[in-house]
Every structure is written in structure tokens, then in C-alpha cells.
Structure 1
Amino acid sequence: MSDRETITALLEAVKLHVPFDGWSAAAFEAAVAESGVAPGVAEAVCPRGAVDLALAYHAEGDELMLERLTATDLSEMRFRDRVAFAVRARLEAVEDRELVQRGVTLFALPQYAGDGAKAIWGTCDKIWVALGDTSEDVNWYTKRATLSGVYSSTVLYWLGDDSPGYQATWDFLDRRIDDVMQFEKVKAQVRDNKVLSQVFAGPLKILDKVRAPQASGRHDMPGQWRGE
């Protein structure tokens, strides 16, 4: 059994226990016992136990989202609607909200906050790549940072949404994306306005030096600084 197959077996087993025990040591031990994976092998592929399975669960949702994006014709959609569709597809990939709720609780802990932030950043990076983003400058960061905020706030809203078909969540998502579009419009106006571009000439020159990470490290937040 490969490492991926082992993690898949553990993940399927742990999903039954997370709603009751959270992404905890107890849930991990139960998953090991029920999956038939040897304890030593389980610890080797998941050295942090349930934390690693929680991250694997998040990655599984990303894969399902990408499958849906690939299978959907987005060509007739406005770009802002493509982004909204991608975020919605990511949330609709979740089979049990309680698993996400428990994950939010886990990654709110200081020792795991970095893991949670990286997972969200990775999701947003996958969305932008799937939608054809080719930016290599500071926009690579601002797009992902902004979408991370939209995605995170939408997840929190969705977790408490009892409206039919989660319509309140999709309306909330549309409002957040409209806010982002307004921000992007202001950015463009600053660059296109001769007076404003002169006022912000220094900061804009600095930002122009920022470069996206190399392809081999696309999910890492640090980028490259292009010197004179």
C-alpha cells in the first residue's frame, strides 16, 4: 500500500469519528484500528496524527473542486462569476460541515494556525491557477491574499448558515467578491491617474520589484525580489 493509499484509508475511517471527537488523538487511534493500517505505518505517514489527516481532508476537497472546475465550461461566465463558482464548488465538495467546523477549531489553535493559513492559501492558489492566472508580479500575492480573505469569511458564514440551499452564503460570497472588484478598480485608477501615480511613485516602484515564487514552490508565500 502506497503512502497515498494509506492516508486515504485512514481518512475514510477517521471521518466517522471527527464529528464526535474532533481531529484528535482519539479519532486518529480509532481510525488506525478500524482501517487495518499498522500503527507504525500510520505514524510514519501521519507523524502529527489527526492534524495531518485534517490537512489531507482539506487537500481532498481541493482535488474535488478542481475536478468540477475542469468538467465545467466557464467560458460564458464573467470572470468574477468564475471566481464565485470556484469558491462555491470548493464548499460544495464538503460532505459533512461538522468535519470543517472541527477543522476550523483545530487550526484556530496557535500551534496549528500556520498550517491552516497555508492550506487556505493553497486552495486560493489552485483556484487562480485553474482560472488561468499568469501574473508574475505583486498581483500574484494580492490576488491570493484577497481571495484567502473572501474564502475564509465565506467558510465561517457558511458554517452557521441554515438557509435553504445555503442561498444566504452564496449571496454573502457575491457581496464579498463585489467588494474585491471595487478594490481592484481603485488600484487600476491609481496606476492610470497621472497625478496619483506620481504621488505613489515610490511605493509603486518598490512593488514592481516583487516577483512570484518559482514554479517549484508555488504554494510558498515568499517570492523573489528583483534588484536593480
Structure 2
Amino acid sequence: MPDTPDLKNRLIDAALPHVAFDGWSEATFRRAVADAGVPPARARTIFPRGAIDLALAFHRQGDDQMVEKLRGEDLTDMRYSDRVAHAVRTRIEIAGAHREAVRRGVTLFSLPIHAADGARAVWGTADAVWDALGDTSDDVNWYTKRATLSGVYSSVVLYWLGDQSDGDRETWAFLDRRIADVMRIEKAKAQARKSPLISRLMAGPNAVLGRVRAPARSPRGDLPGLWRDPS
């Protein structure tokens, strides 16, 4: 029997042709198991919640492909904001091979019962982007960077799903605008920190925030941005 990563990929590949018709559903999961020739009991040990865990594995697969691609590129000549935009575009272009599967995933994780899983998946994408770009923050900025990028990524994906322009050019223009918005906010925050009045008002909150540290990176656990393997 192949090892677990191989089985995961086989089940994901077998599921994708069915997702367009049945969504990330139990019917899709059962058909994927049958098509992949995996014993049902073995499939359940890999994906205990069936299609939910299968959809999350599909999302993580895209994150891994993005990280691999980004780490093989030389981005040193790009501005940092352009690197972030490039990473988000890379992730969405990878998803473009299976747009309907992404659409069905958005539908699934918009349900209240699965919203927490969806939020963790998006946070995991933002975390993967910052890691791939070499982020070294270890304080509250670790969280704010990922929270901000999660919002950007989510909005761009929703825009992309409805984009009918050639080459998704409207999506990439929208992405550029969102990144520009974030940069304007960061510039305003930097200017505010220079204000003596605001500095005095924020002294207390800043003292508290100064104690915040990024979560330990190993072993990976259940903190936001970290991935729990469903197997």
C-alpha cells in the first residue's frame, strides 16, 4: 500500500472530476475512494470527516505547490508589496486549474458549521505566503500580517470566481488595488506612531502588545496559521 501522502494525492485527483457535479460531498468522497481503488476503511483513516478533510487537503496541496514555486524564484529585485501580490497571484493561478472545485469549496466553507475550517485554511494560505517570502516577525506583527493577508486573499478569490475577463486581468487589477490599500494603511499607521499625542495614548496598549509572541513553529499544532493533518 502506498504511503499516506501518495494516497492523499490519489484521492484528491480521483475526487476532482466529481466535485464539479456533486461538490465536496459524501457522494464525491465515496466515488473518489472507489475510483482510486483505496479500501474505504483506509480512506477514512486518512480523511476521518470524508469530503470535508478531502477539501482541506486539496486546499493545502495548492498551498504546497505555491510554496515550492515561490522558493524556486528569485524575487530579490521586487518591492516587498510586489512580492506579496505575486505570491497571491501565484496561489490563485495554481487554483485556476480547478476553478469549479474552488468555487464548491467556498460554498462548503461558507456554511456556519464549516466556517471555522475555512477560516483556518485561508489563514494557513496567508501563513504559507509569509513563510515562503521569508517573514521573520516574531511579535504581534506575525498575527497582523497574516490577518491582513487573509482578508486580501479571501476578497481576491471571491472576485476571481466571478471574473470573466481575458486572462483574469480584472482580478489582477483588483489584487493590485487591495495591496495598495494595505500599503496606505501601513503608511498611515507609521505616521500615527510619530505623533507625540498618539504615542502617549497608545503607550499602555503597546506595552501589552509588546509581550505578544508568534507561536512556536515546531511541532505544528492548532494555533492559527498552523495545519493539523487530518490523517
| Aligned position for 1:36 | 37
Give, in angstroms, the shift of residue 190 of structure 1.
2.2
Corresponding letter in the other structure for 1:60: Q
Unmatched segments (≥5 aa) in structure 2: 226-231
Give, in angstroms, the shift of residue 192 of structure 1.
2.4
| TM-score, structure 2 as length reference | 0.93
Larger CA deviation: 68-77 vs 159-168: 68-77
| Aligned position for 1:51 | 52
| Aligned position for 1:225 | none
| Aligned position for 1:195 | 197
Give, in angstroms, the shift of residue 218 of structure 1.
7.3
Q: What is the rounded CA distance, in whole Å, between the counterparts of 1:44 and 1:211 in structure 2?
A: 35
Corresponding letter in the other structure for 1:164: D
Whether 1:7 and 2:8 are equivalent positions in the alignment is yes
Larger CA deviation: 176-185 vs 213-222: 213-222
Unmatched segments (≥5 aa) in structure 1: 223-228
What is the SS of the residue equivalent to 2:17? coil
Q: What is the rounded CA distance, in whole Å, between the counterparts of 1:37 and 1:132 in structure 2?
A: 38
Kept in 2, the 8 Å contact 1:121–1:219? The answer is: no
Corresponding letter in the other structure for 1:27: T
| Aligned position for 1:88 | 89
RMSD of aligned alpha carbons: 1.3
Find the partner of 2:162 among 160, 170, 182. 160
| Aligned position for 1:126 | 128
Kept in 2, the 8 Å contact 1:158–1:166? The answer is: yes
Kept in 1, the 8 Å contact 2:139–2:212? The answer is: yes
Corresponding letter in the other structure for 1:90: R
Kept in 1, the 8 Å contact 2:70–2:87? The answer is: yes
Kept in 1, the 8 Å contact 2:124–2:224? The answer is: no
Q: Deviations over 1:58-78 (max 9, x none)?
A: 011011111211122111111
Identical amino acids, percent of aligned pairs:
57
Find the partner of 1:110 among 108, 112, 124. 112
Q: Deviations over 1:87-123 (max 9, x none)?
A: 0000011212100000001111112111111111011
Q: What is the rounded CA distance, in whole Å, between the counterparts of 2:161 and 2:114 in structure 1?
A: 20
| Aligned position for 1:70 | 71
Name the count of aligned residue pairs: 222
Corresponding letter in the other structure for 2:189: K
1 or 2 for the larger relative contact order (CA 8 Å, sep ≥6)? 2
What is the SS of the residue equivalent to 1:74? coil
| TM-score, structure 1 as length reference | 0.94
